[in-house]
Structure 1
Amino acid sequence: MVAKILVVEDNALNIKLFCDLLAAHGHEPEAVTDSREALATARAFKPDLVITDIQLPYVSGIELMQQIRGDSELASVPIMAVTAYSGVGDDERIRAAGAQAYVSKPISVMRFAETVDQLLEEGPVRTADATE
């Protein structure tokens, strides 16, 4: 299955790595480097999955996930969070904001690919705001 995957990341090397991995697995990645443009890009691109960094300038990954969950068109899109800074309570905080999965940087290529596959297999998420 070719999936459309939105990657929100401000680091050019990470964008290249994530997009190359996704493309190598047959997916169609779309990168956004400015988190202020992420929601509009997501609405236009209609992704099957969103992968977002947590530590972003302007709009944090947490805020972006909350915006996605609050958007009627995007509320059911699975989200994978990626961050270099993982501390006590981060997993709960990230999942509470709307992520179905959480991967720490530096990423394990195998874990990254497995998590993407798992989220795509699970399909759209059920949220309180999602329309059936």
Structure 2
Amino acid sequence: MATLQVPYTKNISLSVDSAVKIKATPAMPFNMGPEMQVDFYTGIEMDSNIAFQFRVYFGKQVVMNSRLGGNCGEEVKSTVMTFKDGQPFELCISVQSNEYQVSVNGRQCYTFPHRFDPGSVKMIQVWRDVSLTSVNVV
């Protein structure tokens, strides 16, 4: 199956009850320290505010945050690791009325309260150490 170029950037529009589905595989073994990052930007420039940042340190932890005016907010961390070394995964970020709900392979694992109106999201970027198969907004 063809892979998408990483970093992958796409203009999007989100609303409550929409979701972003990402299919990918870690690009290297966990003992090499691979990461994946998903950023929901409120503009179409890389220096825009980030409504939601989801960063996976494969095999270690997940860190979620936002960025306003160049300053990151308080991190929300989780050591729940449902990603498997070398295995493809489907990451689904669902927009609820008060939070983002993140599931991995159909299992709801993480939540992050809205710090920005999800309707303000204009662009997504998926990057770091992943082989990316698809990114869809549903």
What TM-score results when the alignment is normalised by the length of structure 1? 0.32
The structure with the largest helix share of the pair is: 1
The structure showing larger relative contact order (alpha-carbon pairs under 8 Å, at least 6 residues apart) is: 2
What TM-score results when the alignment is normalised by the length of structure 2? 0.31
User: Rg bigger for which structure?
Assistant: 2
